[in-house]
Structure 1
Amino acid sequence: MSTPLPPPRLNTALKTYPHTQPLKSGELTDPAVELVFEEIEPIHRAFAPMARQQAYDVSELAIVTYLQAKAYGKPLVLLPAVVAARFQQGCIIYNAAQGKPELADLAGKRIGVRAYTQTTGMWVRAILGGTYDVPLDQVDWVTIEGAHLDEYTDPPFVRRVGPGKQLLAMLRDGELDAAILGNDLPDGPEFKPLIDNAAAADKAWYAQHQYVPINHVVVVSQEVADSQPQAVRAVYDLLKRGKASVAAQNAGKPDKLLFGYDALRKPLEETLAFCEQQRLLPRKLSVDEIFADSAGILGEAGF
């Protein structure tokens, strides 16, 4: 009697969240795949290597980075799985000591963001433009890093400062009028949200759009998708089981972990429109083009 072959081992980059921790601890497993995790902190350090060289078999990836990678023809396949999402209106801050810029007067103001292509920056700009009528191309966007994709060039209204600069230090020193930050938002009274009553504003945004802004999704390399489709199906199922493991604690809250083509269609359509408006994509993409990469692998399980 022949010994069964071991499952494929897939090099994986996922941040430890409540819904991914059971996968990383081995509490949730699947006989069709073995996930070998690399611990990368902060997780955004995995994004450029994945987008440029497909450094991992499976990886968390910022949605804007994925969309740019897809538009530039990188061999990545999106799984319809959101692993990180958040409301964004508290992510733009100002220095209380310097005085608060008014939303109606942001044209010509200096707003810092780590990179113009950063997903949090995309969402904040979408909200500033769509909800508060800020003329985005008239803002002086100040960045300290470039895009995860080498092919991308920032629009002319974006400028990069010299090496060694940090957004909070620039905001503290009066070199910026406001700054957009994500997981690195500071505590304390020195910096305040630019948008008043950000939580209430986020609730109003959710009532209109019916989804939480997507930050990070999951992708696999095209090579793995082609050579190990059963393992890819197992990865998607594990991610869904991870979400199910935290369902009780998330009951009654807006769903931040969207799964499946139907749930993701409208959010992705709007995300693509925001990216096009902000000159983040080199060509037009459609949701159908994106979904086609994995639909043949996931089949009915993807809905």
Structure 2
Amino acid sequence: MADLRLTMSCWDYDRTRALMDGSVKPDGIELTCLSLSVEETFFRMLRYREFDVSEMSLSSYTVSLFKEERPFIAIPFFPSRFFRHSSIYVNADSGIHEPKDLVGKRVGCPEYQMTAPVWIRGVLSDEYGVPVESVTYHTGGEEEPNRSEKLKLDLPDRIKVEPIAAGKTLSAMLRDGEIDALYTARKPSSYTGPNGPVRRLFEDYVPVERDYYARTGIFPMMHIVAIRREVYERNRWIAQSLYKALVSSQAKTYHDLQQTAALKTMLPWAVAHLEDTEAHMGKDFWPNGFEKNEDTLNVFLRYSYEQGLSKRLLDARELFAPETLEAFVI
């Protein structure tokens, strides 16, 4: 029987590269891979469902579960993770010197439902006493104007979200003091260093993020891998096949990072960085699978609910194809 032909869109990560270049092949699947930017992949999948499988914003996927047709189903592989303390930027003249100073301020975020700001708002609430409803959020393009939410939102009245004016960008507005802070995924062009008009709230962010991980065990996932539900329902075996292949691809990256005869990355102290990371986070510092990530996912789902994005508090098991919930050795 011929392999099932599927299309998959994902950014060109080291941990997915073996799947993208064909050196790892999912069982029973002939996979056509497209290496597109995350913004393009998300837009095309969420709006038009152009791919059979794609990388997807964890937050957007969670919001999609409340749509009547529930168009996607996920597998517990996380191509993108990021500590986001470094992603809070403030205007140098805003009077914001510590997290509690954000209360009552004007805060930009490209999209309210975007995963990075969901984590940032949750961490600021849990760790620093900055309630989600204590600021006004301004949404729009960070560097290019006229960005809108990819998914229609129905937020409670206590959450104040206002689109910025046509032609404006959040990066420029932050530099010019039209907003006080920015929660984002990409570093804004108006940030030119700690002595410029825009600075990070946590300039020395690595110790802050390490302390956060040491206390909570949370390494925030940003993206998951989602399958169009009708594709999955016709061939439910593909969830396991894709998951196994993705984990095998990441295993090759773990192996590559261990090499000392020659560096496979262009970071001069990559070996030292790896050893330091393993000392703080263990050998499997980028874990996949349901069991290892259940607690972190439930924290994110609580944030989604508290921030008005989820209509009820989901359990992490509800996110994934049931075939992928049980751990097995590859």
The TM-score normalised by the length of structure 1 is: 0.88
Q: Deviations over 1:161-216 (max 9, x none)?
A: 12222111111111011112213444622232113532111111111221211101
Match of 1:188 in 2: 192
> Structure 2: which amino acid aligns with 1:68?
V
- 3-state SS of 1:83 partner: coil
> Structure 2: which amino acid aligns with 1:188?
T
Match of 1:34 in 2: 30
Rounded to whole Å, the distance in 2 between the matches of 1:90 and 1:151 is: 27
Rounded to whole Å, the distance in 2 between the matches of 1:297 and 1:135 is: 35
Tell me by how many angstroms 1:103 deviates: 2.3
Q: Deviations over 1:229-257 (max 9, x none)?
A: 33332211110011101114256164563
1:157 and 2:184 matched: no
Q: Deviations over 1:33-68 (max 9, x none)?
A: 122122322x12222432344321111011111111
Match of 1:215 in 2: 222
Match of 2:42 in 1: 47
Out of 6, 17, 21, the residue aligned to residue 10 of structure 1 is: 6
Match of 1:271 in 2: 300
- 3-state SS of 2:192 partner: coil
1:136 and 2:132 matched: yes
1:206 and 2:206 matched: no
Match of 2:271 in 1: none
Match of 2:267 in 1: none
- 3-state SS of 2:76 partner: strand
Q: Which moved more, 1:15-24 or 1:245-254?
A: 245-254
- 3-state SS of 1:158 partner: strand
Rounded to whole Å, the distance in 1 between the matches of 2:108 and 2:329 is: 38
Rounded to whole Å, the distance in 2 between the matches of 1:283 and 1:14 is: 29
- 3-state SS of 1:71 partner: coil
Out of 49, 66, 87, the residue aligned to residue 61 of structure 2 is: 66
Rounded to whole Å, the distance in 2 between the matches of 1:202 and 1:237 is: 30
Tell me by how many angstroms 1:151 deviates: 4.9
Tell me by how many angstroms 1:152 deviates: 3.9
Tell me by how many angstroms 1:299 deviates: 5.3
Match of 1:280 in 2: 309
Match of 2:143 in 1: none
Rounded to whole Å, the distance in 2 between the matches of 1:302 and 1:137 is: 44
> Structure 2: which amino acid aligns with 1:271?
F
Q: Deviations over 1:266-296 (max 9, x none)?
A: 11111111111111112332223234xx123
- 3-state SS of 1:183 partner: coil
Tell me by how many angstroms 1:134 deviates: 1.1
1:148 and 2:150 matched: yes
Rounded to whole Å, the distance in 1 between the matches of 2:329 and 2:225 is: 13
Residues 259 and 93 of structure 1: is their aligned pair in 2 closer, same or farther, counting only changes over 3 Å?
Answer: same
Match of 1:126 in 2: 122
Greater RCO (Cα-Cα under 8 Å, separation 6 or more) = 1
Tell me by how many angstroms 1:31 deviates: 4.5
Rounded to whole Å, the distance in 1 between the matches of 2:100 and 2:297 is: 28
- Which runs of 5 or more residues in structure 2 are unaligned? 141-146, 258-273
1:172 and 2:168 matched: no
- 3-state SS of 1:246 partner: helix
**What is the CA RMSD across the aligned residues, in angstroms?**
2.4
Rounded to whole Å, the distance in 2 between the matches of 1:228 and 1:185 is: 42
Out of 238, 242, 245, the residue aligned to residue 235 of structure 1 is: 242
Rounded to whole Å, the distance in 1 between the matches of 2:26 and 2:242 is: 8
> Residues 84-99 of structure 1: matches in 2 within 5 Å?
84-96=80-92
Tell me by how many angstroms 1:222 deviates: 1.2
- 3-state SS of 2:150 partner: coil
Rounded to whole Å, the distance in 1 between the matches of 2:310 and 2:169 is: 26
Q: Deviations over 1:98-130 (max 9, x none)?
A: 664442222221111101111111111111111
Match of 1:295 in 2: 322
Q: Would you say the 8 A contact 1:71–1:283 is kept in 2?
A: no
Task: Give the length in aligned residue pairs.
Answer: 296
Q: Would you say the 8 A contact 1:89–1:195 is kept in 2?
A: yes
Q: Which moved more, 1:103-112 or 1:120-129?
A: 103-112
The TM-score normalised by the length of structure 2 is: 0.82
- 3-state SS of 1:47 partner: helix
